[in-house]
Amino acid sequence: MTISVSPGTVSTSPLVADAERPVPFIDLVPQYNAMSTEILGAVERLLAEQKFILGDEVAELENEIATYCDARHAIGCNSGTDALIIALQALGIGEGDEVITTPFSFFATASCITRAGATPVFVDIDPKTFNLDPQCVEDAVTSKTKAILPVHLYGQCADMEPLWRIATQHKLAIVEDACQAIGAEYQGRRAGVLGAVGCFSFFPTKNLGGAGDGGMMTTDDPELAKRLKCLRVHGDVGQYEHVEVGMNSRLDALQAAVLRVKLRRLEFWTASRQRNAKRYADMFRQTGLTDTLELPTTKADCRHVYNQYCVRVRSGLRDHVMQKMREAKVGCAVYYPKPLHLQKCFAHLGYRLGQFPEAEAASKDILALPIYPELPMADQERVVGTLQKIIREAVPTTQRIRRAA
Ligand SMILES: *Cc1c(COP(=O)(O)O)cnc(C)c1O
């Protein structure tokens, strides 16, 4: 079997022993190398045309994303963050309104609510999926609540059925933060059509990543689609008529051109991510590490697209394991080390440590391992072998500490 070694990130020198070869957490180079001719062709075509803002290229990508997500409309914008802000604004959410969301996500999940002029209301998560706990959502609904903003974290959809029920009962909108979940499914339906608006990001490390920033909003509602389209261009309804103040958040045609080439391979990459996840599960079970490492849970009604493969490291060993992985030059990462309710910029909201025990515990246990589609088998074996060594050495120590305590 041939192992693809990517130039630039990995030394191919025969003097470097395999055990010392760095294992990158993510490497975007092999993906580009496999399709560089096509991407360069698309970029050259656009440069020749000099049509950089919106235009046919963006419209084509919007059609293709709408088809891919099984949505009636898709509207490109500048980033996943902007997609979330525009979605909230289009739904009329602002000053005095509350939006319920998770504290265990990327910052933009909550900052978009503040940016739209509303107040984020955090509630705790389910410890198995790391997604919103619907019971906690229900308990947090007040007369000011206008929307629920679930995140499909790591590429697995939130538990939507109870959220739909709560939303219907209290007349709330649902805005999906699907930035990590393009192609994910819940009960056979794609992320992006599980609420009023679905928000996607084309940040380079997402499952469909551009050559820079980019985002997309999906909806089945034609009126909402019109409003989203208008808000991304300063609220211009045409002929320099502005009915409300929007943003300057257009998707570049160059990004759209690159993304259109890449979209054709997305299903293949998703299958590769799923294969890698299955390999991890098989290998970890064989090593007998599953006492210390809790593997990700895939729910039966979900298609998980593994933007991240996150394990929980038990016994308070996460930071130790991470340190040792770094020393062994094996890539890993923490998403996310500090829950959003404890961020300084949200201090005025009055949350305190201990308020969301599941989110806080997850932030201390979580560890993301390399999962990108081109991850070589040998690298994956290194990840598991290194973890095995670190945990074997560490666990007797903690047991000694526990006995002494
Ligand atoms: C990446 C991401 C965003 C923001 O997307 P950008 O394109 O970087 O603005 C928002 N929410 C989640 C959960 C993300 O992973």
pLDDT tens per residue, range 16-60: 556 678 999 999 999 999 999 999 999 999 999 999 998 999 999
The β-bridge relationship of strands 185-186 and 302-303 is antiparallel
Q: What is the rounded distance in angstroms from the CA atom of residue 311 to the CA atom of residue 34?
A: 30
Whether 150 is in the pocket of ligand 1, judged by its Cβ within 6 Å, is no
Q: Is 177 in the pocket of ligand 1 (CB under 6 A)?
A: yes
Question: Tokens in use for 175?
Answer: 């805005």
Helix, coil or strand: residue 334: coil
Would you state the pLDDT for residue 249? 96
CB atoms closer than 10 angstroms to residue 25: 18
Res 290: pLDDT:
83
With the most atoms of ligand 1 within 8 angstroms of its CB, the residue from 82, 106, 114 to mutate is 106
Which residues of the chain, if any, have pLDDT below 70?
A: 1-19, 397-405
Q: What is the pLDDT of residue 263?
A: 98
- CA end-to-end distance (rounded Å), the chain: 50
Q: Is 78 in the pocket of ligand 1 (CB under 6 A)?
A: no
Instruction: From 220, 201, 221, 224, select the one nearest 212 (Cα to Cα).
Output: 201
Write down the pLDDT at residue 18: 63
Cβ 180 under 6 angstroms from ligand 1: yes
- Mention every residue, 6+ apart, whose C-beta is less than 8 A from residue 22: 9, 10, 11, 329, 330, 331
Query: In Å, how far are 13, 144, 168, 212, 400 from 101, measured between CA atoms?
Result: 48, 14, 17, 27, 41
Query: Which of 109, 154, 175, 232 is the best mutation target for the ligand 1 pocket, counting ligand atoms within 8 Å of the beta carbon and taking the most?
Result: 109
Provide the b/e sequence for 330-343 (b: ≥16 CB within 10 Å).
bbbbbbbeebbbbe
Distance CA 183, CA 50 (A): 32
Q: CA-based angle 366:137:297, to the nearest 5? A: 35
- Ligand 1 centre to CA of 81 (Å) is 6
> How far is it, in rounded angstroms, from Cα 118 to Cα 135?
22
Q: Which domains does the chain have, with CATH numbers?
A: 33-263 (3.40.640.10), 265-404 (3.90.1150.10)
- Whether 80 lines ligand 1, by a CB cut-off of 6 Å, is yes
Cβ-proximal residues to 303 (8 Å cutoff; 6+ apart), any chain: 183, 184, 185, 186
Residue 131, ligand 1, Cβ within 6 A: no
CB 149 within 8 A of CB 137: no
Q: Is there a contact between 181 and 157 (Cβ–Cβ < 8 Å)? A: yes
| Model confidence pLDDT, tens digit, residues 180-200 | 999 999 999 999 999 999 999
Paired strand residues for 340: none
**CA 254, CA 212: separation in Å to the nearest integer?**
10
**The pLDDT value given to residue 255:** 97
Give 80 Cα–ligand 1 centroid separation in angstroms: 5
Q: Give the Å distance between the CA of 201 and the centre of ligand 1.
A: 6
DSSP state of 295: P
- Sign of the dihedral defined by the CA atoms of residues 50, 56, 60, 66, in that order: positive
- Ligand 1 atom showing the smallest separation from residue 307 Cα: 15
- CB contact at 8 A, 289 and 335: no
Give how far the C-alpha of residue 350 lies from the chain's centroid of Cα atoms, to the nearest Å.
Answer: 27
Euclidean distance between CA atoms 362 and 121, whole angstroms: 19
Q: In the sheet that 302-303 helps form, which strands lie side by side, from edge to edge?
A: 189-190, 185-186, 302-303
Q: Is 359 in the pocket of ligand 1 (CB under 6 A)?
A: no
pLDDT reported for residue 398: 56
Rg (CA), the chain: 22
| Alpha-helix runs per DSSP H in 10-54 | 29-33, 36-49
Q: Is the CB of 109 within 6 Å of ligand 1?
A: yes
**Nearest-atom index, ligand 1, CA of 105:** 13
Is the Cβ atom of 200 under 6 angstroms away from ligand 1? Answer: no
50 CA distance to ligand 1 middle (Å): 29
CA distance 178 to 155: 8
C-alpha separations of 394 from 132, 284, 298, 313 in Å = 33, 17, 28, 12
Pocket test for ligand 1, best of 77, 78, 81 (most atoms within 8 A of CB): 81
User: Which residues 6+ apart lie within 8 Å of 326 measured at CB?
Assistant: 332
The candidate with the shortest Cα–Cα distance to 374, out of 108, 72, 9, is: 9
Report CA-CA distances (Å) from 114 to 98, 100, 180: 10, 12, 21
**Atom nearest to 206 CA in ligand 1:** 1
